[in-house]
Amino acid sequence: MCLGFDPRPAVAAAVLFAVSVTAADLRVCADPNNLPFSNRQQEGFDNKIAAMIGRDLNRTVKYVWAPERGESFVEKTLLAGQCDLLMGMPALDREASTTQPYYTSTYVFLWRRDRHLNIHSLNDPVLRRLRIGVHVVSDDASNLPPAQALANRGMIKNMAAYSIYGDLSKPNPPAALIEAVTRGQVDIAIAWGPLAGYFAKRSAMPLEVVPVSPQVDRPYLPFTFSISMGVRPGDKDLLAALNRALDRQRPEIDRTLQEYGVPMLSLSKTPLADGKRK
């Protein structure tokens, strides 16, 4: 999923098409326009990892496409029986039963290499002289960790806000924040690592990607999250099967995440998650 754990408004559209279901199917609900995570062409890393798990379990992966909009996304897809599996769930999510994490990542600073910035900390005084791009959900306290951290430091005027939802008519709407960096519309961005790492790796403009420090701000505000797969509560057999498959596919999963430029931290870290969707 994308970018920070947040309550969301209502789902923007219903499930886009139905699939015929057999016992051998593994139905996955996913966003059709949200690289690097997923798209209808199945080019995202979550698409690739779901395919690995399907092969491991000898089950055919079938997609139910639905844009990820609203805190009711899980309720209207997984819990409504539209699918069996959601990728990109925060570990310890309260709505679903979650597998062991398949990666842990962090928010990162992102800037053009020709700017010669050397910023690693939210407390770096240089930030106060820069225009900082961040994703936001709304105008209230439900905003994502970077916006909250900057507001806590009295740096609201430094922020350039980009909707996490973006323009659904364009490819990969959240990537507008990364494009703002490459075009010089902002000096620096603070973005969810998988999103920043993927587009930085493919950018014609060389970009620097540096993990945000501290990893946990005050008040309790994590910037590092462990990511799992989610199934319906009570679906214990599938949950156990997924955990076994994740163990078997771990090397290939790690290689895939590296190919997509995902900044990865050790999975031995305690998962930091508040149970809300990214």
Is residue 163 domain-shared with residue 249, that is, in the same domain? no
Is residue 91 domain-shared with residue 124, that is, in the same domain? no
Largest CA distance in the chain: 58
Whether residue 219 has a cis bond before it, omega within 30° of 0: yes
For position 77, what pLDDT does the model report?
A: 93
For position 49, what pLDDT does the model report?
A: 98
For position 243, what pLDDT does the model report?
A: 98
Question: Total structural domains in the chain?
Answer: 2
Which of 139, 166, 276 shows the shortest CA–CA distance to 221?
Answer: 276
Q: How far apart are CA 99 and CA 79, in angstroms?
A: 16
| Domain around 189 | 105-222
> What does R_g of the chain's alpha carbons equal in angstroms?
18
Is residue 97 domain-shared with residue 110, that is, in the same domain? no
Residues contacting residue 249 through CB under 8 Å, at least 6 positions apart: 49, 52, 53, 56
Is residue 136 domain-shared with residue 189, that is, in the same domain? yes
Specify burial of residue 156 (Cβ count, 10 A radius: 0-12, 13-18, 19+).
Answer: exposed
For position 225, what pLDDT does the model report?
A: 95
Mean pLDDT of each 10-residue bin along the chain, 278 residues long: 41 39 81 96 98 97 88 88 95 92 97 96 97 85 85 95 86 94 98 97 96 88 95 95 98 98 78 46
What would the two tokens of residue 3 be? 């970018």
For position 36, what pLDDT does the model report?
A: 97
For position 71, what pLDDT does the model report?
A: 65
Is residue 182 domain-shared with residue 243, that is, in the same domain? no
- CATH code, domain with 251: 3.40.190.10
Residue 66 is classified by DSSP as -
What would the two tokens of residue 163 be? 């909707």
Flag whether 11 is in a domain: no
pTM value is 0.87
Is residue 48 domain-shared with residue 140, that is, in the same domain? no
Is residue 65 domain-shared with residue 112, that is, in the same domain? no
Is residue 144 domain-shared with residue 216, that is, in the same domain? yes
Flag whether 178 is in a domain: yes
For position 166, what pLDDT does the model report?
A: 79
Flag whether 277 is in a domain: no
For position 10, what pLDDT does the model report?
A: 32
